[in-house]
């Protein structure tokens, strides 16, 4: 009887040890910690100021092969297109400088009220007023090689004008790899903007722009450009026959 009991105890111990050994390699259940920061285990770690550290597992970024052409296009050099043309790179806006915003300023001149005087060096257009004052607008002017000076009159006015690039401009840009349309209807994408005032029989105009960030810069092919809101304001104050002096 005693031998039977002893044998049973030995066998039970063997099986229990085997079970414990096997249990050691079993997956453990998740440990759930209480969110209560006043719990005793938190106090043992250092009190209520203790916060769990959470590590975010980085997610591997996978690129599609079809994304690479887009990335390459975005990294092309800025000189690929001239400023002022559709799709051109945008330089820093000149309107970080408030002097290019429309304002009334003191302006002594012998010109009659209603005359337009354009100071290309300082990038300002003045609409002469009475009493030694003028309404001043910030403008973009001709880039190097396209500057000019002289006196003209406004011979025509147009709202949302169409754009017909001169043949010289089309050839010049084609040599750079930029192909201009023969004609573009008026609209927000049109480089002439919302309004245009044509100067004499020349190809020069005072007009709006679809690139307002170029105001204050020498970027055009000789035309004088204003922000659309400014050219609309000037357009409503100017008549056909207005004298325009470019200095």
Catalytic site residue 223? yes
Q: Which residue has the tokens 């009220």?
A: 113
Q: d(Cα 32, Cα 55) in Å, to the nearest integer?
A: 17
Q: Which residue has the tokens 């998740």?
A: 30
What does each of the 247 residues of the chain score in pLDDT, given as a tens digit? 555 555 555 565 555 555 544 555 555 555 555 455 544 544 444 444 544 444 344 444 444 333 333 333 333 333 333 344 444 444 444 456 788 999 999 999 999 999 999 999 999 999 999 999 999 999 999 999 999 999 999 999 999 999 887 777 878 878 888 877 777 888 999 999 999 999 999 989 999 999 999 999 999 989 999 999 999 999 999 999 999 999 9
Q: d(Cα 105, Cα 131) in Å, to the nearest integer?
A: 11
pLDDT tens digits for range 39-69: 454 444 444 454 444 434 444 444 433 333 3
pLDDT at 36: 53
pTM equals: 0.60
Tell me how far apart the terminal alpha carbons of the chain are, to the nearest angstrom.
127
pLDDT at 168: 79
Which of the residues 83, 192, 223, 234 is marked catalytic? Answer: 223
Which of the residues 135, 195, 207, 227 is marked catalytic? Answer: 207
Whether the CB-CB separation of 102 and 232 falls below 8 Å is answered with: no
Q: What is the CATH code of the structural domain delimited by 82-246?
A: 2.40.440.10
- Give the number of C-alpha atoms closer than 13 A to the C-alpha of residue 174, restricted to the C-beta side: 10
Q: d(Cα 57, Cα 45) in Å, to the nearest integer?
A: 25
Whether the CB-CB separation of 94 and 209 falls below 8 Å is answered with: no
Residue 163 φ then ψ, to 5°: -115, 120
Task: Give residue limits of the domains in the chain.
Answer: 82-246
pLDDT at 28: 55
pLDDT at 52: 45
pLDDT at 45: 47
pLDDT at 171: 83
pLDDT at 196: 97
pLDDT at 134: 98
């Amino acid at each position: 009887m005693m031998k039977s009991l002893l044998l049973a105890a030995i066998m039970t111990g063997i099986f229990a040890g085997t079970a414990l050994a096997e249990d050691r390699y079993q997956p453990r259940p998740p440990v759930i910690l209480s969110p209560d920061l006043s719990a005793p285990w938190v106090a043992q770690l250092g009190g209520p100021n203790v916060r769990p550290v959470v590590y975010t597992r980085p997610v591997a970024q996978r690129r599609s092969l079809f994304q690479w052409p887009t990335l390459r296009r975005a990294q092309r050099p800025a000189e690929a297109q001239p400023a002022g043309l559709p799709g051109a790179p945008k330089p820093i806006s000149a309107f970080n400088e408030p002097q290019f915003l429309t304002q009334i300023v003191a302006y002594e001149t012998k010109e009659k009220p209603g005359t337009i005087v354009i100071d290309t060096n300082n990038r300002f257009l003045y609409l002469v007023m009475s009493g030694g004052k003028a309404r001043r607008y910030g403008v973009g002017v001709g880039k190097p090689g396209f500057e000019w000076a002289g006196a003209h009159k406004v011979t025509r006015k147009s709202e949302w004008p169409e754009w017909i690039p001169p043949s010289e401009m089309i050839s010049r840009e084609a040599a750079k790899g930029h192909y201009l349309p023969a004609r573009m209807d008026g609209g927000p994408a049109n480089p002439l903007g919302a309004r245009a005032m044509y100067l004499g029989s020349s190809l020069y105009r005072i007009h709006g722009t679809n690139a307002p960030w170029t105001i204050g810069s020498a970027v055009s092919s000789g035309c004088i450009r204003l922000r659309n809101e400014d050219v609309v304001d000037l357009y409503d104050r100017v008549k056909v026959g207005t004298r325009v002096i470019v200095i």
